[in-house]
Structure 1
């Protein structure tokens, strides 16, 4: 896996909207934060476009992504928001061009499909972290989430411990491997495609929002049937928010669903990580080596930049 070069003060970063239309007010409110990091900002030419539930047509969104990767003056790329639409772009992306122009690529949620595709097709480390319109531009965006942006400016090993947030052990053990994954529903969406999530000997990160326990059960069932849980060296359970049952009056508690799928895996599975649709949201690099330990209750993650 190729690590992108670290950012430096004075660098210019690009902003794209590869999924749904971003909230433009929130996007505008987020820009001072990037400026406070010493960065200049270039907004993609199609970021303000809309095409129904998409932030422009597929061609427009791919063009913005390609432009930002091709332009040598752009040192990093931040996604404005998620929603839906990145899976529609995967087959049109020039991954060889991305491989020749490695740079920081940052986002989460629906951006998971792009993380998985870029890692598989271009061997590039990417970053699972808060987005400009969805998170940074909102009044409640917190200091702990902001602090994790500093990893882009210098290589640093990050150790997430029980002191970072309370962690629960679902299955015991210690394992290492590249950290991969992201939004659970998008990972399931990748199965059967050329961009399918590869979990073999890897630590699998999962998170999601707005999904009831029965839906999360169905997603985990698909991963299990596809062999993704057995192949993984360990499971990192991130934040699952807004999971209260609305359609199904009778339910199984989410933690019990997790135990059904993870308790007998004979590999480390820990939950409680504040990674995902939550505050604080601890940004992490994907594609780097990591270690998950149940006895020490920690996840140690290598630096994502060089």
Structure 2
């Protein structure tokens, strides 16, 4: 059964951590200003500004930040500064019982996908796939809708995503219902064969990606297909595939690759959602019940908070 975290209120303290790569400092500063605009206080993880190659500090430091912020009762939510690479390196060392005993809002996307999957499947905690402080909100010209999506953390709100947000296209006809799961395709693929392998049975699966050629997307979708992960879903939501274009003359298009696999899976599929490495980026809870209908071209997602 899904565990929903408690909602935020003005004056609450949230934690800002970097479980993967070091964030852009200028963007992060603007992201922290945004938290203040929301009426929130914040605590910074000790390793937030550390640089260890492509990691924001070594594995122990990043893991310690995650544990400390879940354990800290003053902290009501944990917001990731950015993605990059590194969350899978700490997944097997996480104290999931600690998280289960101290449930709170956990928000991020991209490389954070591995933590979304691990936390949800180990604890039942609903987590949030949404724009991050340095990667999105702190960028110059950040879209107002990306900022507005944080409002769902203050008031239980059912998300109704239809063509008012973006042009939605039916790839496989039908309707579906189930917990919403997924995230970045590379991270979902990399979970295969691990203790944190993505469970898609009866779920609505969201996929998104960035900077991968169609042949790489093909490889990852083929892996999920051969493992039965696409066929086991109740439905598939195709988010943004940013800059996933061929770098060679002989190539299938991204559209051809995606359509091939979703039609093989035969599950209701919609594409065109502004979820992922895009602007605007609409945040959604993972683990709550979602409903999709390809005739109405609509996705409805239950609130992720109490």
Q: With structure 2 as the length reference, what TM-score do the two structures score?
A: 0.98
Whether the 8 Å contact between 1:171 and 1:264 is mirrored in structure 2 is no
Cα distance, 1:264 vs. partner? Answer: 4.3
The aligned residue for residue 72 of structure 2 is 71
Report the secondary structure of 1:89's partner residue. Answer: helix
Is 1:183 equivalent to 2:198 in the alignment? no
Aligned residue number for residue 36 of structure 2: 35
Instruction: Tell me if the contact between 1:17 and 1:79 (Cα under 8 Å) persists in the aligned partners.
Output: yes
Task: Report deviation, 1:234.
Answer: 0.4
Contact 2:128 / 2:285 at 8 angstroms: preserved in 1?
yes
Which runs of 5 or more residues in structure 1 are unaligned? none
Q: Which whole-Å CA distance do the structure 2 matches of 1:30 and 1:16 have between them?
A: 12
Map 1:128-143; keep pairs closer than 5 Å.
128-143=129-144
Tell me the CA shift for residue 50 of structure 1.
Answer: 1.2
C-alpha distance after superposition, 1:162-199 (max 9, x if no partner): 22110010000001000000000000000111111000
| Conservation of the 8 A alpha-carbon contact between 1:180 and 1:202 | yes
SS at match of 2:265: coil
Report the counterpart of residue 92 of structure 2 in structure 1: 91
Task: Indicate the SS of the match to 1:292.
Answer: strand
Partner of 1:229: helix, strand, or coil? coil
2:148 counterpart of 1:147: yes
What is the deviation of 1:258?
A: 1.3
The alignment covers a number of residue pairs equal to 305
User: Which structure 2 residue ranges, 5 or more long, are not aligned?
Assistant: none
Equivalences for 1:275-286 in 2 at 5 Å?
A: 275-286=275-286
SS in 1 for 2:92: helix
Q: C-alpha separation between the residues in 1 aligned to 2:111 and 2:217? A: 16
CA-CA distance at 1:263 after TM superposition = 2.2
Deviates more, 1:1-10 or 1:25-34: 25-34
Match of 1:51 in 2: 52
Structure 1: distance between partners of 2:163 and 2:136: 24
Partners of 1:258 and 1:138 lie apart in 2 by 30
Q: CA deviation at 1:259?
A: 1.3
| Aligned 1:94-105 pairs, distance under 5 A | 94-105=95-106
Per the alignment, residue 215 of structure 2 pairs with 214
Per the TM alignment, residue 30 of structure 1 is displaced from its structure 2 partner at its CA by 1.0
3-state SS, counterpart of residue 228 of structure 1: coil
Which residue is equivalent to 1:272?
272
CA contact (8 A) 2:246 2:253 kept: no
The CA distance in 2 between the partners of 1:68 and 1:187, in whole Å, is 25
Alpha-carbon deviation of 1:245? 1.5
State the secondary structure of the residue aligned to 1:263. helix
Q: For the Cα contact (< 8 Å) 2:4–2:304, is it kept in 1? A: yes
Aligned mates of 1:230, 1:97 — CA distance in 2: 34
Aligned-residue offset at 1:265: 3.3
Q: Which runs of 4+ in 1 moved over 6 A?
A: none
Cα distance in 2 for partners of 1:87, 1:249 equals 34
Q: Is the 8 A contact 1:173 1:266 kept in 2?
A: no
